[in-house]
Chain A
Amino acid sequence: MAANADILPAAPGARRSLAPGLSIGISSLYLSAIVLLPLAALGWKAHGWGAISTPQATAALKLTLELSLVVALVNAVAGTAIAWTLVRDRFVGQGFVNALVDLPFALPTIVAGLTLLALYGPKSPVGINAAFTRWGLLLALLFVTLPFVVRTVQPVLFELDREMEDAAASLGASRFTTFLRIVLPSILPAVLSGVALAFARAVGEFGAVVLISGNLPFKTEVVAVYVFGRLESGDSGGAAAASVVILSISFGVLLAIGALRRWVTRHDR
């Protein structure tokens, strides 16, 4: 299947897709200048690795990682369902909903925080009070990560050849079986791409979550706030060290998601 393209040997055609030196060279250079150089400076600044081993730091780190994984999982399911609804379903106001999907990014974090607190806090007009609990944190993180899976899956669903599905259906496969056997393998790499983004964003976010979470250490404090506290207390070395640790863990998770994607596509063959 086409989804296996990445493990095909670099055939003559592949080499011809664009001069490889150009795309590899430019993208490596750009990544190094924009991302790796500042990160290296951060690592150089890091000292006082104890900053991440205090009980408060480990509690915040554990909470953040657990929440981020939950956020990634919820997004995997909900994001795929939404993308499906937006591409394959037909209903009134579809274009409108589709247009709104990116807005959680464009809203400044303070406004997002204020809004979520007003809607789902103690004075909630809809009677949902999730504020000052981990549910509030989860809600805020789901809000800021909503576009990722939707927007990665949408274009793939769009490009997806529907002949296979029609064929499966005509052979008597149920809708669910068709989805599971035909559609899912094709969109899974996209889902995992979106999931990786959502996970990473959830690890780093704090602007939108702090108001609704109440920011209580050991209960609702996320690791980004802890790092900010270190910085504000004049311990920028510790803040940098903690950030490097968080980055390394995130890097590990992202590599694992990448490996999972490769395994899934290989397995599928």
Chain B
Amino acid sequence: MIAKYALRFVSLGYLAVLLVAPIGFVFWQTFEHGVGPAWDTVATPDALHALKVTLILTAIAVPANTIFGVLCALAIVRHRYPGAGIVNAVVDLPLALSPVVVGLALLVLYGRGGWLGGHGIVFALPGMVLATIFVSLPFVVREVVPVLREIGTEQEQVAATLGASAFQTFRRVTWPAIRWATLYGVVLTTARALGEFGAVSVVSGRLAGQTESLTLYVQDRYQSFDNTGAYAAAVLLALLALATLLLMTRLKPNEGVQ
């Protein structure tokens, strides 16, 4: 019993210092002067357009990375092929690059004089989509792989023995088991895609009202000494992430906990 409370105390204390306090502070800063001023700063045409850009980036990056994530996790766990270990490690690499360098890499590839340069990819929406996909790529894979390992192959083999097709096996046996993990992966991917700044900044060209995403807008507000505006837009991003989580938990089957 003591152990239980000690663990609860330690984990919640850690969360309080590292998570709840900073996020509470952001909300407090935003609504310090009431809801009105905060609302005013995010209801401007530039902010709304930035929100739209962010939603488009997320709406493309998240489904793409989710489909890839599940397939890649299956490839890593269920199939033995040379290089599986390398694929497994490459998946994490996008995180180890600082976002500015991710942007540089995309510029080198798609920019003026690049290998695939001159197709209007960078300094436009496609480049921003690529950057967003790049930085949010690992999450679904990383969520699904451990669960696939944990559940093992017994049930799948049983299904196969009973004559189920590969697709039926996936849909009836594998998918229900990894659904919960996939949902978390989707939530993480969404949060990361919403919050990305560095890489998108480099490839966007930051054209206000055209290629400015909500995080770029936050930077712009901060640069103009409008901290309320910056915080308000940040809260909007946080709320989008929360909404995703709530939506995902709604979709989640009721399997006991929560």
Give residues in A with beta carbon < 8 Å to B: 2-6, 8-20, 22-24, 26-28, 30-31, 34-39, 41-42, 44-45, 78, 81-82, 84-85, 87, 89, 91, 94-95, 97-112, 114-116, 118-119, 126, 139, 142-143, 146-148, 151-152, 154-156, 158-160, 175-176, 186-187, 189-190, 193-194, 196-197, 199-201, 203-207, 224, 227-228, 231, 236, 239-240, 243, 246-247, 250-251, 254-255, 258-259, 265
Contacts and interface: CB of A to CB of B under 8 A. Distances in A.
Contact of A205 (B85, B98, B255, B257): B98
A26 B71 CA distance: 7
Contacts of B48: none
Interface string B178-190: 0011001101101
Given A3-B149, A10-B80, A247 B19 contact: no
25 contacts: A3-B150, A10-B80, A13-B156, A13-B157, A13-B158, A14-B153, A17-B74, A17-B78, A17-B156, A18-B170, A22-B71, A24-B79, A38-B102, A99-B245, A102-B245, A103-B19, A105-B191, A108-B215, A110-B197, A110-B222, A115-B29, A152-B146, A200-B93, A204-B96, A224-B98
Nearest to A251: B89
Contacts of B15: 82, 97, 100
Contact of B92 (A87, A89, A197, A265): A197
B124 interface: no
B96 A16 contact: no
Interface of B: 3-4, 7-8, 10-12, 14-15, 18-23, 25-26, 29, 68, 71-72, 74-75, 77-81, 85-102, 104-106, 108-109, 114-115, 130, 133-134, 137-139, 142-143, 145-154, 156-161, 165-167, 169-170, 174, 177, 180-181, 184-185, 187-188, 190-192, 194-195, 197-198, 215, 218-219, 222, 227, 230-231, 233-234, 237-238, 240-242, 245-246, 255, 257-258
Contact of A24 (B10, B75, B138, B177): B75
A142 B29 CA distance: 22
B104 A154 contact: no
A5 B152 contact: yes
Contacts of B185: 151
Contacts of B14: 78, 81-82
B22 A143 contact: yes
Given A16-B156, A204-B99, A107 B166 contact: no
A108 B219 contact: yes
B142 A193 contact: yes
Nearest to A97: B15
A16 B165 CA distance: 7
B22 A13 contact: no
Contact of B89 (A17, A42, A243, A258): A258
A61 to B, nearest CB: 12
B122 to A, nearest CB: 11
Nearest to A37: B109
Contacts of B21: 119, 126
Contacts of A10: 78-80
